[in-house]
Structure 1
């Protein structure tokens, strides 16, 4: 057996709806029938039975496309696209850094070779290149 629920006056429900819309607009969500019904201690079905017009208004608000200026919650796809773009940027930066590091190593190697040659010429000492060791075939 169900108990009888005293429905609040429509003016009070509309005032609560306006407050719910304001709060929803502030945090970027949309008002729901369930949230409004629970505010008055009613079930969703009971609220819809007593206030069908208000329930339809809320449903229309939820199904309306978002306004162009209003922020919307990014979808999983949007987050994935953003993450992919961030990873591509990071990868490009790392590739550029690696290329730059390789260029520096090449330049330093050439400078080192040139300095060795100048040192050998200035001191009159020739650099001995190591002879590769010969290993016996038995080892």
Structure 2
């Protein structure tokens, strides 16, 4: 097993850099990204720098909570609703087509059974 040479200061600097980059991009900072930046396994960070990792996660969560959400675009909502309605209509048409096919197959199956019984001379005692 390889022993890492990380110090508390190195981890703290990497945390600060990662939080700053995440804030610029508006994304979450993850422990996986921190581990990749430092070149160690996530488990190593949790085991040897647990307090720093916990602080890192809480600071990132607080930062994301305090950031204002971008305003929703009402046109995208309308487009989504229109798309979903089109999909619903298409699925409903498919359902009716399949329903018609099943109905025709059922009628055809009953006709073929009657023909088969007539040709082979089968007499049904219980017609239901």
TM-score by length of 1: 0.47
Larger radius of gyration: 1
- Alpha-carbon distance change, 87 to 12 in structure 1, aligned in 2, over 3 angstroms: closer
Runs of at least 5 residues in structure 2 that lack an aligned partner in the other structure: 82-128
Select the structure that is richer in helix: 2
Q: 1:17 aligns to what SS in structure 2? A: helix
1:66 corresponds to 2:65: yes
Counterparts of 1:7 and 1:82 in 2: how far apart (Å)? Answer: 53
Q: Partners of 2:65 and 2:4 in 1: how far apart?
A: 35
- Which residue of structure 2 aligns with residue 38 of structure 1? 36
Residue 53 of structure 1 corresponds to: 51
Corresponding position of 1:13: 11
Q: Which runs of 5+ in 1 are unaligned?
A: 89-139
Residues 1:50 and 1:84: Cα distance change in structure 2 (over 3 Å): same
Give the conservation status (yes or no) of the 8 Å contact 1:20–1:36.
yes
Deviation at 1:86, TM superposition (A): 5.8
Confirm or deny: 8 A CA contact 1:21 1:31 kept in the other structure: yes
- The residue number in structure 1 matching 2:105 is none
| Separation (CA, whole Å) in 2 of partners of 1:17 and 1:27 | 15
Cα shift readout 1:13-72 (whole Å, capped 9, x = no counterpart):
1011111111011000121111111112111111110100111112213443611xx244
Point out 4+ residue stretches in structure 1 off by more than 6 angstroms.
none
Once the two structures are superposed, the pairs formed by residues 93-132 of structure 1 within 5 Å of their partners are: none
**TM-score, length of structure 2 as denominator length:** 0.51
Would you say the 8 A contact 2:4–2:40 is kept in 1?
no
Secondary structure of the corresponding residue to residue 30 of structure 1: coil
Residue of structure 1 in register with 2:77 after alignment: 84
